[in-house]
Amino acid sequence: MRVLIVEDYAPLRLSIAQGLGEAGFAVDSAQDGEEGLWYAQANTYDAIILDIMLPRIDGLTILRKIRDADGTTPVLLLTAKDTVADRVYGLDLGADDYLTKPFAFEELMARVRAITRRGYDIANPLIRVQDLEVNTAARTVRRGDRNIELTAREYALLEFLAMRAGEVVTRTDVWEHLYSFHDSAESNVVDVYIGYLRKKLEHPTLPPLIHTRRGQGYVLGE
């Protein structure tokens, strides 16, 4: 999943980006509101972590512009203010969640996972596709009675396919949701990782899970 962080305090921004990156998220980051608004309008994100107090353009103005453009990307607001009025105002503008500084990174991660699932209309952190189980909270995978060990990138790809189970997912979709703005990779990288997943998930005695639609993309499940 791809996340945008808009936070002017560099140590916090870098810390969040590092933590999300280690968890397998693709991360873009901006240090002021002007840059953050450009990223938000020019790219596709599964979640935006948005500080309210920003130089150039404040976070609430960015949120308003995103929603005015019919943007539905889930937004988690960060703020040093902890009053009911501030929280209500941000939520009324269209924020999906609210986190007050200082906070534990584990809580931030849990809230990002929750609003990301919400963006795909998925309430349960356990996604089942045939005999496959993807636990988006624990970031674990099982097929039948077998635990599947995946790398962070492999897991991110499988989670994205599971979020859209039964739908055709194009290579462009995968690229936009799993790679950050500054990532560079070979043009066949998506096909390569699909191959990795198939080797780990599939077995001659089991029905295939990942289907190729020639000229279109991939489908997880029936």
Q: For residue 130, what is the domain's CATH number? A: 1.10.10.10
One digit per residue, the tens of pLDDT, for the chain of length 222 reads: 999 999 999 999 999 999 999 888 999 999 999 999 999 999 999 999 999 999 999 999 999 999 998 889 999 999 887 777 877 888 899 999 999 999 999 999 999 999 999 999 998 999 999 999 999 999 999 998 899 999 988 999 999 999 999 999 999 999 888 888 777 666 688 899 999 999 999 888 889 999 999 889 999 997
**Residues 57, 25 share a domain:** yes
**Residues 131, 110 share a domain:** no
What lies within 8 Å, CB to CB, of 13 at 6+ separation is 5, 7, 29, 31
**Residues 153, 106 share a domain:** no
**Residues 179, 113 share a domain:** no
**Residues 79, 26 share a domain:** yes
Q: pTM, whole model, 2 decimals?
A: 0.89
CATH code where residue 6 lies: 3.40.50.2300
**Residues 80, 55 share a domain:** yes
State the total domains in the chain: 2
Q: Which of 164, 183, 182, 181 is nearest to 173 (CA)?
A: 164
**Residues 113, 49 share a domain:** yes
Q: Among 92, 119, 146, where does a domain finish?
A: 119
What sign does the CA torsion over 41, 47, 51, 52 have?
positive
* 78: containing domain: 2-119
Rounded-to-integer distance, Cα 179 and Cα 174, Å: 8
Rounded-to-integer distance, Cα 13 and Cα 194, Å: 31
Q: Among 119, 151, 183, where does a domain finish?
A: 119
**Residues 168, 90 share a domain:** no
**Residues 140, 112 share a domain:** no
**Residues 87, 138 share a domain:** no
**Residues 166, 92 share a domain:** no
Q: Among 119, 149, 170, where does a domain finish?
A: 119
